[in-house]
Structure 1
Amino acid sequence: MFSVHLSEIPRTISFRTALMFLALFGCSFLGLFGYIYWQTAGYLKSEVDTALYRQIDTRSRQAPVLRQQEIRQHAEQDIEGHAPHALFDANDQPLAGAIQTLPAFKKYDKPYEFDWRAPHDRNRPVRFMVHRLENGQTLLVAQDIHDIREFDELLVQALISGGALLLVVGLLGAIALGYSARRRLEALGRSIERIIEGDLSGRLPTRGNRDDIDRIASVVNGMLDELERLMSEVKGVCDDIAHDLRTPLTRLIAGLERAQRRNLSKEEYAAAIDAAIEEAMGLLQTFRALLRISEIEVSARRSNFAQVDLNQIAADATELFEPLAEERGMTLELVPSAKPANLSGDPQLLFDAACNLLDNAIKFSPDDSHIQVTVIADATHSGIRVKDQGPGIPEAEREAVFRRLYRSESSRHTAGNGLGLSMVSAVARLHDMTLQVQDAQPGCQIDLMGKSGNRWEGRDPAVEAELGIR
């Protein structure tokens, strides 16, 4: 019994894929948030710098006495020190303004920052700019950027908290995906173990959403269907061989034993040997038919596929069996299709399949009866229909008759080996055709139908490649 452990989750492809996308999304998130932070902070500082340049330009245009007087008035009005101005003499001694000490700077008319102890003993970050006046005095204008610093801190905190939330949610999602994938793989593993233990009727579970695992499971289920069918046929063949070949082998052995025990004349020995050869040839023919069916089922003949006209196939098969039908007084009618009945396939195999259908129809139909061969063709399907006036096939046996060596009780005394319809069924599977048995009232109707034109219309090429079908 399988169980999902936390240590197994990181090894799943879903978990690793989720981590990869989490990393990609995290990098995208950091890049986007960093760009927004950089643009916002740069915009706010550029606005402050623009205001500082404008104030320097205004102060520079004033007369020295008026400038000094207005800076003193500005200091009295700006109690909080949000936009302090200051004026220094040529020796950097304060003349007017809230700032009494000239802060360190490198160049005139360039923005710098420093922490200023404003009135009421509060340290406030300010952005300032220093300008040398024409009379040798130094003008300093500044702007409190405490709000901008707080906004920067809020952005950084949002970045950190958002990144942490993204990481937690992403990890939880990756674990959930990994756990779900692991559970699904465990279910597949349990199904495979049951199949390995001998339950060939078991199938891999699917969800019906056609994702990657569903497609693989569908391909494997198709393979298991084929394996189950082949195993069932092998078992049926073994049972039928033990049942049906026992009689000819018994006759062969009994004839040879009689010839060995008795004093037979030369003619009687020759007759016994002829009878033995006939029985052996019948057995050899049966095994040859079995080998040919196996060859067809492993797709060994697909290299000979070409465009085939079923009208021609049906005409050739009908012409071949006309003498046999005439011997028994039967009427063999061919009804060709008015439209081209083309499909891709092996012409020899399709001809053999049509001949087997006709052979069965003639074999099991009474003398002086009517057999009709019809070629069907429409926009999507092409096929051959053989209708006779024989005893028909009971509905309960319409699937069994396609098994190798299967013969119903009513046909056991009829010549044959029970492989004709098995060969037709193998040809139908090779050509992706359907084989249906229906009641003709009276008689039997067998339809061999396939899709017109493209041989691969009924299958997904990707699935065929995964199944290894040539």
Structure 2
Amino acid sequence: MDKHARKGPSALRTSIRLSLQYSFLYSVLSALVFALAYWFTQYEVQDWVLDQMRSDAGTLVEIFELGGDEMLVDRVDALAEVSFQNARVYQLLNSDGAIVSGNLSSTFASPLPDYLPAKDLPLAGEIHDEVTGYWLRADDVGPYLLIQGTGDHIVLEILEALGMALVVGYLAVVILGLIVGIRIGRITERRIAAISNTLAEVSAGNLASRISTTPKARDDLSRVSTEINSMLGQIKRLLESQEQISNDIAHDMRTPLQHLRQRLEKLRDSPTIRPDDISASLDQTEEIIATFNALLRIAQIEGSDRRERFGLYDLSEIIANVTEVFEPAAEDAGIELTTKVPGEQLEVVGDRNLLTQLLSNLVENAIKHCPAGSKVLVLAESTLAGPTLRITDNGPGIAREDRERIFRRFFRGEKSRNSPGNGLGLALAKAICDLHGAEITVSENDPGTTFEINFLR
């Protein structure tokens, strides 16, 4: 626990540091977005002001065309008079450059500037308090030159309100980002700490420890936790299997080794060596070697990548070859061995030798445990999920309580204790099925037993 306590603050600082870094990045991006929004708004408002002056100039052109010089001069004077505190300014110049009407007392130097401070503008009367300058525009109205100006106070008020809103929004985004970032960082840290603590407990020997997960969670840490729990479960099963294998080897190999030792001692102490004793010793040795070879083959299948040898094979052909080999043995035992396969090919992806071994073990197991007069059927068919293989017999069957244990190494039911064998045939069959991604099950045939193997596509 001390080690975990030392890791906790450092990891917490890491999560906070990452949260601050991301919050800073988010703040910079938000500032850029807000600055662009401010600039774009300013541009649009100024363009709106210029559009308004352009529209007013178009209206005065229409008035001049309809009413002539007098109506144009009257309308410009009227616009200048109704302009509150000179928020709008007008000047109408004739072809000689003389002022005809408007609220500007002097002319401008050429070229006309786009913007002029209010203090530099020749105005008669008061100027609006919030006006700091004017945007100017010149348009031709018949023989006259119309100069218009619009104060910037409206634009400044809009930009001031927008700026305040953006500043407040930016501060809210930064503060909320920091709070949410630190909160998420701490939640993530607690979940990472739970994973770390679970792995530490497993390393200390507590193989039952698991990471708590939420079924509805779909984030990365939940998926990682689920995979780690699955891995720990598999490790626990493998270690339990290893322990069971060790116990089974010690239990099942003790008797034949003791018998072999007794025979060898008898041969050592006997003045004469009988051929029967030598043959029995050799048979006992062969039985032990066969057991270890079977264990080695299971380990090779489970531990090596045999999938490199996989190919596409016809399951019907494998069935025909295996049943042909076992027909003499079945006939000698008084057992009827038959097959039932479809006319088309049943293609299976796998290792041909291992598939042959799988079927051979199941057929041999059925022949060995069925009395004379029994029937053994090897059936194959194609389903939507993939090819299915069944080996059925009408023999004595397997006790219900033994069906979950028959695939364990060295397991032998009470009915098979006195028959030859080492209890590894079905374990080897299960290992081959697992390698091929197939599911093997055992069920009652009433009477007898059915082994079913489903190869998934």
Query: If the TM-score is normalised by the length of the shorter chain, which range does it land in?
Result: 0.7 to 0.9
The answer to whether the Cα contact below 8 Å between 1:56 and 1:141 also exists between their aligned partners in 2 is no
Q: Percent identity?
A: 28
Among 16, 21, 33, the residue aligned to 1:10: 16
| Residues 147 and 300 of structure 1: CA distance in aligned 2, closer, same or farther (over 3 Å) | closer
Structure 2 CA distance for aligned equivalents of residues 246 and 236 of structure 1: 15
- Offset from partner CA, 1:125-180 (integer Å, 9 cap, x none): 341659899xxxx9975433322221122222222222222222333333333233
Structure 2 CA distance for aligned equivalents of residues 74 and 16 of structure 1: 57
The answer to whether the Cα contact below 8 Å between 1:404 and 1:418 also exists between their aligned partners in 2 is yes
Residue 433 of structure 1: aligned partner: 438
Residue 365 of structure 1: aligned partner: 370
**1:413 aligned to 2:418?**
yes
Alignment of 1:153-164 (within 5 A): 153-164=160-171
- Offset from partner CA, 1:394-431 (integer Å, 9 cap, x none): 22222221111222333222100111001000000000
Structure 2 CA distance for aligned equivalents of residues 293 and 15 of structure 1: 54
SS for the counterpart of 2:118 is strand
Structure 2 CA distance for aligned equivalents of residues 43 and 171 of structure 1: 38
Among 119, 127, 134, the residue aligned to 1:127: 134
Structure 2 CA distance for aligned equivalents of residues 26 and 227 of structure 1: 51
| Residues 232 and 376 of structure 1: CA distance in aligned 2, closer, same or farther (over 3 Å) | farther
In the alignment, residue 161 of structure 1 is paired with which amino acid? V
The answer to whether the Cα contact below 8 Å between 1:314 and 1:384 also exists between their aligned partners in 2 is no
| Residues 195 and 128 of structure 1: CA distance in aligned 2, closer, same or farther (over 3 Å) | closer
Among 234, 258, 265, the residue aligned to 2:266: 258
**1:111 aligned to 2:114?**
yes
Q: Which 5+ residue runs of structure 1 have no aligned equivalent?
A: 453-470
* TM-score, normalization by structure 1: 0.79
Residue 337 of structure 2: aligned partner: 332
CA drift of 1:338 comes to 4.2
In the alignment, residue 197 of structure 1 is paired with which amino acid? A
Structure 2 CA distance for aligned equivalents of residues 72 and 41 of structure 1: 25
Structure 1 CA distance for aligned equivalents of residues 357 and 118 of structure 2: 101
In the alignment, residue 438 of structure 1 is paired with which amino acid? S
| Residues 384 and 86 of structure 1: CA distance in aligned 2, closer, same or farther (over 3 Å) | closer
Q: Give the total of aligned pairs.
A: 437
Among 233, 237, 246, the residue aligned to 1:238: 246
Structure 2 CA distance for aligned equivalents of residues 16 and 364 of structure 1: 71
Which is further off, 177-186 or 408-417?
Answer: 177-186
Structure 2 CA distance for aligned equivalents of residues 28 and 197 of structure 1: 52
Which is further off, 240-249 or 391-400?
Answer: 391-400
Residue 35 of structure 1: aligned partner: 40
CA drift of 1:9 comes to 1.9
Structure 1 CA distance for aligned equivalents of residues 114 and 59 of structure 2: 13
- Offset from partner CA, 1:227-262 (integer Å, 9 cap, x none): 223212211110101110000000011111122223
The answer to whether the Cα contact below 8 Å between 1:128 and 1:143 also exists between their aligned partners in 2 is yes
| Residues 34 and 210 of structure 1: CA distance in aligned 2, closer, same or farther (over 3 Å) | same
| Residues 113 and 253 of structure 1: CA distance in aligned 2, closer, same or farther (over 3 Å) | same
CA drift of 1:108 comes to 3.7
- Offset from partner CA, 1:301-343 (integer Å, 9 cap, x none): 2122111222112221111111111112111121223443221
Residue 232 of structure 2: aligned partner: 224
| Residues 415 and 27 of structure 1: CA distance in aligned 2, closer, same or farther (over 3 Å) | farther
Among 278, 281, 289, the residue aligned to 2:286: 281
| Residues 114 and 426 of structure 1: CA distance in aligned 2, closer, same or farther (over 3 Å) | same
Residue 186 of structure 1: aligned partner: 193
- Offset from partner CA, 1:48-69 (integer Å, 9 cap, x none): 466479879999x958xx96x9
The answer to whether the Cα contact below 8 Å between 2:57 and 2:139 also exists between their aligned partners in 1 is no
In the alignment, residue 10 of structure 1 is paired with which amino acid? I
CA drift of 1:357 comes to 0.5
**1:375 aligned to 2:380?**
yes
Structure 2 CA distance for aligned equivalents of residues 70 and 387 of structure 1: 110
In the alignment, residue 278 of structure 1 is paired with which amino acid? D
**1:303 aligned to 2:311?**
no
* TM-score, normalization by structure 2: 0.81
Which is further off, 46-55 or 109-118?
Answer: 46-55
Which is further off, 323-332 or 220-229?
Answer: 220-229
Residue 166 of structure 1: aligned partner: 173
In the alignment, residue 36 of structure 1 is paired with which amino acid? T
Among 195, 213, 220, the residue aligned to 2:202: 195
Residue 403 of structure 1: aligned partner: 408
Structure 1 CA distance for aligned equivalents of residues 101 and 50 of structure 2: 26
CA drift of 1:380 comes to 2.0
SS for the counterpart of 2:427 is helix
Which is further off, 344-353 or 436-445?
Answer: 436-445
Structure 1 CA distance for aligned equivalents of residues 32 and 135 of structure 2: 36
Structure 1 CA distance for aligned equivalents of residues 324 and 114 of structure 2: 106
| Residues 19 and 279 of structure 1: CA distance in aligned 2, closer, same or farther (over 3 Å) | farther
| Residues 80 and 7 of structure 1: CA distance in aligned 2, closer, same or farther (over 3 Å) | same
SS for the counterpart of 1:383 is strand
| Residues 424 and 76 of structure 1: CA distance in aligned 2, closer, same or farther (over 3 Å) | closer
In the alignment, residue 331 of structure 2 is paired with which amino acid? E
| Residues 350 and 51 of structure 1: CA distance in aligned 2, closer, same or farther (over 3 Å) | same
The answer to whether the Cα contact below 8 Å between 2:210 and 2:229 also exists between their aligned partners in 1 is yes
The answer to whether the Cα contact below 8 Å between 1:389 and 1:440 also exists between their aligned partners in 2 is yes
The answer to whether the Cα contact below 8 Å between 2:42 and 2:155 also exists between their aligned partners in 1 is no
The answer to whether the Cα contact below 8 Å between 2:86 and 2:127 also exists between their aligned partners in 1 is no
The answer to whether the Cα contact below 8 Å between 1:308 and 1:344 also exists between their aligned partners in 2 is yes
In the alignment, residue 83 of structure 1 is paired with which amino acid? R
Alignment of 1:346-357 (within 5 A): 346-357=351-362
The answer to whether the Cα contact below 8 Å between 1:79 and 1:119 also exists between their aligned partners in 2 is no
The answer to whether the Cα contact below 8 Å between 1:80 and 1:118 also exists between their aligned partners in 2 is no
Structure 2 CA distance for aligned equivalents of residues 345 and 39 of structure 1: 70
Structure 1 CA distance for aligned equivalents of residues 124 and 412 of structure 2: 111
Structure 1 CA distance for aligned equivalents of residues 305 and 139 of structure 2: 98
Which is further off, 196-205 or 275-284?
Answer: 196-205
In the alignment, residue 224 of structure 2 is paired with which amino acid? I
In the alignment, residue 320 of structure 2 is paired with which amino acid? A
SS for the counterpart of 1:349 is helix
SS for the counterpart of 1:400 is coil
CA drift of 1:353 comes to 0.7
